[in-house]
Structure 1
Amino acid sequence: MKGKYVILASALMVSVATFAQKDQIKAAEKAFRKGQAQEAVGILNEAESLIANASDSEKAQYFFIKGNALLDLANKNVEEDKNLSLAADAYVSLIAAEKASGKEKYSGEASTSIATIKYKLINSAIADSKINKHALSAKKLYDAYLLDKKDTLNLYYAASTYVNAEEYDKALKLYGDLKDMNYSGKETNYLAVNKLTKENDLFKSSLERDRMVKLGTHEQPTTEQIPSKRGEIYKNIALILVQNGKTAEAKEAIAAARKTNPDDTSLILTEANLYLETKDFDTYKKLIVEILEKNPNDADLVFNLGVISGTAKNVVDAEKYYKRAIEINPKYLNAYINMAALKLDKEGVIIAEMNKLGTSDKDMKRYDVLKKERQDLFRAAIPYLANALELEPKNGDVAKTLLGVYSALEMTAEKKALEAKM
């Protein structure tokens, strides 16, 4: 008989708890409708411990009201960052609860609010990045992704921003998620300038864009190819693993990626870079040959090979690849700049030796030899700097470098002509 009373008491406790949480949800909803969002959030926070045992439909209602109240506070600039993030969490929980229940009573109504939070988070994240609040920016981008998991670009940007914040473990987790979904990010953007705003608008297809151009609302249609981001993703995974002393895992990760994406040359380039960093030069050279066999006329790829070779202090190969990139694409600005940099980089060694020389006849003869070598370097850099400046006349760094070269060679007329253009 005593056992029956215990069972009855337990049932009454569950019943009382159920009524309590329902009353608190109703009270919060009433407060919110009266414009008392802060009070509504307070009531819901008090009921949070009871929600774990609530039905999925009650959980959905709870999170719906909470999300709305938090978004209202954020819209009123009340702890905007904090409340946007909390609102995002509430809506994610709402979606999960309704998915579990099989009923979507609030998901439809919440969709507009979800979209609003998503774009507020993205805009706020961009603003945070501009003032170097990278960790906060990354969290907001990840929250935006959780609100709309179809928009995987936000997950990619969140991972990249965690790298900027030097929170590598968090970045590694998100890069792992991107790897598991075989994310590429490769796409085609169809753009045209809006005649009213004078800014580029993005269209879903070339047909839609061309139709707007014909209607006269847009002009200057362009197509932008966004390359695969797999190489960068695996490169960052590898670099983080290497930093954590897990070089073998890094190599395994890239090898696995290449098996899944055998035609993605960016992954071969990433693998080559990894072997270069671990000083396995034989494997590095083998991979370089493989890359060139696949894409001998890819200017970007050849340029990247130049960068990798330059990093390895292999000046001969770096020059070869930069010249080849220019041969493929005579308007390749960065190839001209890097070629000039390679030439001028040798100046430091020459200057160091010149400063050590004395005043003996032998030293003075050596000084003259070194002086000529330095002048030859400057002369060799001029065509590349001039071509770079012709391609981008407003590039101040290139202009200043070329002015310095003209000054060192006492090319007064050329220096004055360039100064007149600046």
Structure 2
Amino acid sequence: MKNQIIIALTFSIGVFSFAQKKELKTAERAIKGTNYAEAKAALSQAEALMSAMDEKSKAKYYFLMGQALYAGGNGSSQDIDKAIESFNMVEGAYASEIAEVKRQMTNNILTKGNEAYEAKDFLTASKHFEHAYRTSEKDTLFLYYAAATAVNVQEYDRALGLYEELKRLGYTGIATEYYATNKESGEEEVMDKTTRDIYVKSGSHVDPGVRKTDSKKAEIVKNVALIYVSQGNNEKALEAMKDARAESPDDINLILSEANVHYKMGNKDKFREILEVATKMDPTNPELQYNLGVIASESDDKENAKKYYKKAIELDPNYVNAYINMAALVLSREEPLIEEMNGLGTSKEDDKRYEELKEERQQLYKDAIPYLVKALEIDDKNINAAKTLMNIYSVTGDTANYKVMKAKVEALEGQ
């Protein structure tokens, strides 16, 4: 009786084994014929027999399933995820075959990702870039692209996960860049070393060189921190900055990123404190001076605001926003004058005071005009500067300039 049971079980296992091989062969033929739906159907049948499969059959199953899901590049985003998972389940076989399929996948996915990016479909581009990394994990740049494009469409939770993965990998984004100048266009072009050397040898390019690209670490940490801020997790945001500053205490970009986090959190005193530290490290940076001017102005510290704006203009005579803010600073003194004028009575003393205030107000306008004129010289499409000038010319009775500026404002509004 025992012998009969053993014979029966052996027979049963043999049937399962035959069924597995049949379904796997059917799937294999279907994939070769690009009939991926049929392949998936056959593999679905084989999956029911998974518990009885030997290691070799399991490896083949996962290999075929990966191909079926990828579908020659036509699989959905979810199918691509599953295809990569399936390939990663293969053990002890098909290493070279999977490497070749993944190479094809990477190229195909990158092409789609670049097309989506060019079309400004950043969500699709981000997912393609992530898939490209999953198929070629030595290319961490793809993971960086995935995170950066996810931020563009405010997919913050997903972007955060990708950025955290980049941090765990120790990604800096620093790369060796080869370049040469195109003799015909006069423009510098970046390319791989072999192509550059061929172009230089052929004479089409000159002035070859090599350099290291800037680190993206500061940008990554900044984005991680800003995502935490957007989620209301300010403590984690500051913790992220603290860790980054500990690694690179002299990195001014990290210092500015930390300042921006404090600004977004409403910690303006801390923002100013950090900017002052940054200003000492980089005293010739006009943007730092300008931002200190903004904070001083918001704190009603007009004298310091004026000092910082003037310093920004001194460092960069074309810093248009500094001119605009200087004009705004001058004109901010108008409101108390108007309030006092409106509160005066009809006595001789009041009439005298009214004329004094009126003259003082006219002088404010005259003081603001040069800053606004300069702003328009730098940026002739700055409609805010044009409108303010138009109104000033109207109030001061400068009819000729008022007409000129009115025409300019109308032209800008019509664009």
TM-score normalised by the shorter chain: which range applies?
0.7 to 0.9
2:220 matches 1:233? yes
Match of 1:106 in 2: 97
Q: Which amino acid aligns with 1:148?
A: S
Cα 1:272–1:29, aligned 2, differ >3 Å: closer, same or farther? same
* Residues in 2 aligned to 1:55 and 1:194: alpha-carbon distance in whole angstroms: 59
| 1:294 positional shift | 3.4
Deviations 1:117-139 (A, max 9, x none): 331342244156x25xx444432
Deviations 1:90-149 (A, max 9, x none): 14531x235x42761413431441232331342244156x25xx4444322222221222
SS in 1 for 2:190: strand
Deviations 1:362-406 (A, max 9, x none): 6676455334424422322322442x34xxxxxx633x4565466
- Structure 1 unaligned residues grouped into runs of 5+: 75-79, 390-395
Instruction: Please say which of residues 242-251 and 361-370 is displaced more in the overlay.
Output: 361-370
Contact residue 272 and residue 292 of structure 2 kept, 8 A: no
Cα 1:412–1:65, aligned 2, differ >3 Å: closer, same or farther? same
* Residues in 2 aligned to 1:19 and 1:407: alpha-carbon distance in whole angstroms: 89
Contact residue 275 and residue 292 of structure 2 kept, 8 A: no
- Name which one, 1 or 2, has greater alpha-carbon Rg: 2
| 1:267 positional shift | 1.7
| 1:42 positional shift | 3.4
| 1:89 positional shift | 3.9
Match of 1:20 in 2: 19
- Structure 2 unaligned residues grouped into runs of 5+: 345-350
* Residues in 1 aligned to 2:229 and 2:403: alpha-carbon distance in whole angstroms: 52
Contact residue 193 and residue 221 of structure 1 kept, 8 A: yes
Give the share of equivalent positions with the same residue, in percent: 29
RMSD between aligned alpha carbons?
A: 4.6
Query: Normalising by structure 2, what TM-score?
Result: 0.72
Deviations 1:219-274 (A, max 9, x none): 79798975433233222222332344432232222212222233322222222333
The match for 1:204 among 164, 182, 192 is: 192
2:233 matches 1:251? no
2:85 matches 1:86? no
| 1:30 positional shift | 1.0
Match of 1:397 in 2: 381
Pairing of 1:109-148 with structure 2 (within 5 A): 109-127=100-118, 130-131=120-121, 134-148=122-136
SS in 2 for 1:185: coil
Match of 2:370 in 1: 379
The match for 2:287 among 298, 303, 315 is: 303
* Residues in 2 aligned to 1:355 and 1:49: alpha-carbon distance in whole angstroms: 85
| 1:27 positional shift | 0.7
Match of 2:32 in 1: 33
Contact residue 327 and residue 372 of structure 2 kept, 8 A: yes
The match for 1:161 among 133, 149, 157 is: 149
Q: Which amino acid aligns with 1:246?
A: N
| 1:187 positional shift | 4.4
Match of 1:392 in 2: none
| 1:338 positional shift | 1.9
